[in-house]
Structures are given as structure tokens and as C-alpha cells.
Structure 1
Amino acid sequence: MGFFLETLFGGLMAGMLYSLIALGFVLIFKASGVFNFAQGAMVLFAALAMARFAEWVPQWTGIDSKIAANLIAFCLAMACMVVVAWVIERFVLGKLVNQEGITLLMATLGITYFLDGFGQTVFGSDIYKIDVGMPKDPIFLFEKTFEGGVLIGQEDLIAAGIAAALVVVLALFFQKTATGRALRAVADDHQAAQSIGIPLNRIWVIVWSVAGFAALVAGIIWGSKLGVQFSLSQVALKALPVVILGGLTSVPGAIIGGLLIGVGEKLSEVYIGPLLGGGIEIWFAYVLALGFLLVRPQGLFGEKIIDRV
């Protein structure tokens, strides 16, 4: 039982991180109707910026405190993501208002390759370390309940807590604030939103900045666990099945979808993997998403689109 709970908790914590990345997809799709294929590249770019600024800030300022240096590096990395958001709106999305969805998708593919290349040009292409002080030693829980207890990584617990808090904040932002309602209005109809005075360009900069913030937090957490390297953008692609499962327009769906996939892939790898030769964790999420596309294309919590003629 203890081993099962360790696997279950590991899946839940991985799922929260998948949900955090998936939020970037959901936020941008809700606000602009654009499926942002560049979210994985944004995670990599943000993590590279954080890792390199954390190295450079002490050299530039002479600050000895790691906490202060990390805080400054975080602010600089966030500023970079806001600049990226402004550039994307000014030179890409602003030119493609009311274009077909496939045109906008191809634009985000172009943004993906640009960010991958530009990030490595500016910040380097080596493997970098992000150290924000999260403890990495595991701890034992429920020792009195189960023999030997349940082994849980402290870093995973903290990361899951941060991801959960950010998910709640973003959900409240969309549901309770005037800006969040404006974002939803823009997603429903660009022209109608403009006709009632909602500034489309400002809204898009805001939503891409918020998605950049989510990418930065996800990049810091994943970079702290795995190191900042090119494969980080591939890890972020695991969020694609999450949004398919949860629904492209649902923030709660991103949470539930991430948890289901995180738990499902861990349990299947541990209990079914040995029977099939392993590797289930690699493809489990995509096969599950394919099944949902065949049965319920809008996902668990997505809005069903009905075209009337």
C-alpha cells in the first residue's frame, strides 16, 4: 500500500506541473481563440532567462545573497516575457486579426522555432542549473500508518503547492475580474469586443504576459528538477494531451486533465509497464487524448460547439 501511495502522490505532483503548463494553452485560447503551439518554447525561453540572469546578476551587482539575486533574476526574466508578449502582439497577432484559425496556428509554430533559436542565441545552449533553494531531500510520511512510511520528495511537494496556488489565482482572475471577463469576450468575438470598446491589442499583450508568467513558473520548477536544456520544451508538450482531455476553454479542465494524466502515466508505467516491456509513460497521455478525441472531442469540461445553418 505504501508503494502504491508513493506512485499515486508522484503522479499527482507531476500532474500539477502538467496543469501549470496547460494553463498557458488554455489562457491564450480563451482570450484569442489561438491554439498556442509555442507554449513549450515559452517555458524553455523563460527557464533559460531565469537560469542565466541568476548567474549574471551577482556578477553585475556584486550581490552575495542568493535570495536577492534570484528575486532580481525572476523580475528580469518576467520582464523578458512581457517584452516577448508585446512583440508577438505587435508584429504577429496584430497583423492577423480575424484570420482563419489555421493561419494563427501556423503563426504560433513560427513563434516556437523563433523562441527556441533566439533563446539559445541570447542565453546559450548548454545545460544550466536553476537553484531557488527548494529542498531536494525526500521525507517519510504516514510512518505510523504504513510500514516504512511513504517516501515523498520535498521539492515535489513545494512545486505542487506552488502550481496549485497559481492555478487558483488564475482561475479567480478569469472569473472575478473585469480584465478576465474582457479576455473571454475577446475570445468569443474579436469584432464585437472591439465594437464595445475593448482594446484588442492591450488584451492580447495581457494574456500573453500572463501565459508567459505561467511559463516562467513552470520553467523554474522543471528547470530546478531536470536542469534547463533543450528537451524542456519537449516536456512541455505533455500539456497538449492535458488540454485535449480537460477542454481547451476550461481552467478547471486543465487541472483535472493534468492530474488524470499524471496519475495515469505513473500507475500504468509501474504496474502495466513490466508486462509490456516499459515505455508506457512516454505514450500513455497521447493515447488517452486520442481516445477522448474519438469519443468527446471537446474534452471533459470544454464547450460543445454547435454550428447552425
Structure 2
Amino acid sequence: MNFFFEVLIGGLLSGVMYALVALGFVLIYKASGVFNFAQGAMVFFAALTCVGLSEKFDLSIWLAIPLTMAVMVVLGLAIEKIVLRPLVNQPEITLFMATIGLTFFIEGLAQLLWGSQPHKLSLPIEDVPIEFIMEKFNILVSQFDVIAALICAILVTGLALLFSKTKIGRALRAVADDHQAALAVGIPLQQIWGIVWTVAGFVALVAGLLWGARNGVQFALTFVALKALPVLILGGFTSVPGAIVGGLIIGASEKLAEVYIGPLVGGGIEGWFPYVLALLFLLVRPEGLFGEKIIRRI
């Protein structure tokens, strides 16, 4: 039983980090109604830029992080002004294709600036078992995973409150519902999109630092965003709480499947089980647990 709880807790902690990546998708989708395929590239760009600044200019990580944040703000605002703003009121597929182009551009820009070789990212968080839990419950829980999950939880909760309880949040929901109507009542569309892309850049930075510290800063970080797809399908593309719940479900089920089902069907189950779970969920509730049902009159 201790081993079961050890696996479950590890999965839940990973799920919180998945939720953080999924949150970047949710923010953009709520503001523009488009799936931002470039979110994974932004995670990679943020992590590589932080490491690159630290190594190239011999900066401490505490100085490199705010400098990287400034770079991500500039990147987010540039994307809004150069790419998104000219495509206002265009079909959603046009915006989606634009984010695919952004993906390759951002990936190439990151490697052009800082190189393509893998880097080690060291944060002042040790990846060691928590002694209190080990002694009291005989369960191995990583200190890094717990602190990373707490950081993600605080960030996700703060953003959820920001977009549900503030004027910016109400404006964002109005923009998501109808761009033209929002403009007609005086909501500054470009300003709202600029804020959202800036926040998405900040989320990408935090996710890039945490995943980069765990797995190394390398091109594979772009694929972390793919793990957010099942999270979004389960939680709903427009729900911040849904991203949290979906992340916990995916993280826990992935680890449990790896340990208990993996030996029966072969290795690599953690790579595809979340997508199978999401596919089955689509058959039951396509809009997700917290997504809004779309009713169309015919």
C-alpha cells in the first residue's frame, strides 16, 4: 500500500506541472479562441534563454530569471502585434496555422541564439526524499517535486483568481465570446491580447525552468506541451480549474498505468496511455469536465 501511495503522490505532483503547461493553452484560447500550438516552443525558448544568459554572460540564476522574463514579455507582445493583430476576425483555422508557423520560428530562433546542445539547469531545489515523510510513512516523496508542485499550484490559483474575479478577467471572457462585440463596448482588444500573451510567456518561463531542471534544457522540452493535450481534453479548453483537475487525473493515471499495467502490455505505456484516456473521454464528454456545452440552433 505504501508503494501505491508513493506512485500516486508522484503522479499527482507531476500532474500539477502538466496543469501549468496546459494553463498557457487555456489563457490564449480564452482570449482569442485559437489553440496556441506554439506554447511548447515558448517553454523551450524560455528555458534555453535563461540558461543561455546565465552561461554566456556568467550571471547567477536569480539575475537570469528576471532578464528572461523581460525577454518573454517582449516576445509575447511582439507575437500579439506582428502575428495576432493583423489576423483579427479571421477564421480560427487561420490563427491556428499562424501558431504552427510561430512554433518553428521560435524553435529556430532559440537555437540560433543559444545553440542546440543540451544544457543543465540547476535551481536551488534539491531532488532528495523528504526525510519527515520517509520516516513517518515510509514513502519516497521528492523535495523537488513537492516544491515545484507548490509553485505551480500558487501560480495556477493566482491566475484563476485574476481571470475570474477581476475586470481583466471579465474583459477577457467578453473578447473570447465575440471580438466585434467587445470592441463595440469599448474593450481594448489589442491590450487584452497583449496582457494574455505576456502572462502566457510568464507561464512558459516557469514551466520551462521546472521541466528544464528536471529533464535538462533540450529540444525535447517542446514535447512537454503535447502532454498538455490530454489535460485540456479532460478539463476543457476554456477552464482554468479544468486544467488543474485534468492535470491531476493525467499525472496520476499515467504513473499508475506505468507501474501496474506496463508490465502486462510492455514498456512505454506512460507515453500513450494519457492519449487513450483522453480519446475515451471524448466519446463521453467532448467539451471536457469544466468546458461549456455548445448549443447550436439549426
Normalising by the smaller structure, the TM-score range is over 0.9
Aligned residues: 298
| 1:24-63 equivalent positions in 2, closer than 5 A | 24-58=24-58
On the 8 A contact 2:242/2:290 being kept in 1, the answer is: yes
On the 8 A contact 2:130/2:141 being kept in 1, the answer is: yes
Structure 2 unaligned residues grouped into runs of 5+: none
Q: Secondary structure at the match of 1:272?
A: helix
Q: TM-score, normalised by structure 1?
A: 0.93
What is the rounded CA distance, in whole Å, between the counterparts of 2:45 and 2:94 in structure 1?
A: 23
Q: What amino acid is aligned across from residue 305 of structure 1 in structure 2?
A: I
| 1:69-108 equivalent positions in 2, closer than 5 A | 69-108=60-99
On the 8 A contact 1:57/1:73 being kept in 2, the answer is: no
Does residue 237 of the first structure (1) align with residue 220 of the second (2)? no
Displacement of 1:132 in angstroms is: 2.0
Displacement of 1:141 in angstroms is: 4.4
What is the rounded CA distance, in whole Å, between the counterparts of 2:282 and 2:217 in structure 1?
A: 32
Alignment match, 1:272: 261
Change (3 A) 1:151 1:303: same
What is the rounded CA distance, in whole Å, between the counterparts of 2:38 and 2:134 in structure 1?
A: 44
Alignment match, 2:294: 305
What is the rounded CA distance, in whole Å, between the counterparts of 1:307 and 1:79 in structure 2?
A: 43
What is the rounded CA distance, in whole Å, between the counterparts of 1:307 and 1:57 in structure 2?
A: 56
Alignment match, 2:250: 261
Alignment match, 1:136: 127
Q: What amino acid is aligned across from residue 85 of structure 1 in structure 2?
A: G
Q: Secondary structure at the match of 2:289?
A: coil
Change (3 A) 1:79 1:144: closer
What is the rounded CA distance, in whole Å, between the counterparts of 2:50 and 2:202 in structure 1?
A: 12
Bigger drift between 136-145 and 159-168 goes to: 136-145
Alignment match, 2:171: 182
Q: TM-score, normalised by structure 2?
A: 0.97
Q: Secondary structure at the match of 2:141?
A: strand
Structure 1 unaligned residues grouped into runs of 5+: 60-68
What is the rounded CA distance, in whole Å, between the counterparts of 1:130 and 1:10 in structure 2?
A: 21
Displacement of 1:199 in angstroms is: 1.1
Alignment match, 2:7: 7
Show CA shifts across 1:92-111 (max 9, x none).
Answer: 11111111111111111011
Bigger drift between 271-280 and 19-28 goes to: 271-280
On the 8 A contact 2:133/2:141 being kept in 1, the answer is: no
Alignment match, 2:151: 162
Q: Once superposed, what is the RMSD of the aligned Cα atoms?
A: 1.3
Q: What amino acid is aligned across from residue 128 of structure 2 in structure 1?
A: D
Q: What amino acid is aligned across from residue 26 of structure 2 in structure 1?
A: V
Does residue 199 of the first structure (1) align with residue 199 of the second (2)? no
Show CA shifts across 1:147-182 (max 9, x none).
Answer: xx1011111111011011001000011011111211
Q: What amino acid is aligned across from residue 131 of structure 1 in structure 2?
A: S
What is the rounded CA distance, in whole Å, between the counterparts of 2:11 and 2:261 in structure 1?
A: 15
On the 8 A contact 1:141/1:151 being kept in 2, the answer is: no
Show CA shifts across 1:1-60 (max 9, x none).
Answer: 11111101110011000000000000111111111111111100111111111223436x
Q: Secondary structure at the match of 2:297?
A: coil
Between structures 1 and 2, the one with greater helix share: 2
What is the rounded CA distance, in whole Å, between the counterparts of 2:99 and 2:267 in structure 1?
A: 34
On the 8 A contact 1:57/1:72 being kept in 2, the answer is: no
On the 8 A contact 2:134/2:141 being kept in 1, the answer is: no
Alignment match, 1:225: 214
Displacement of 1:236 in angstroms is: 2.0
On the 8 A contact 1:140/1:150 being kept in 2, the answer is: no
On the 8 A contact 2:41/2:103 being kept in 1, the answer is: yes
What is the rounded CA distance, in whole Å, between the counterparts of 1:143 and 1:256 in structure 2?
A: 27
Alignment match, 1:62: none
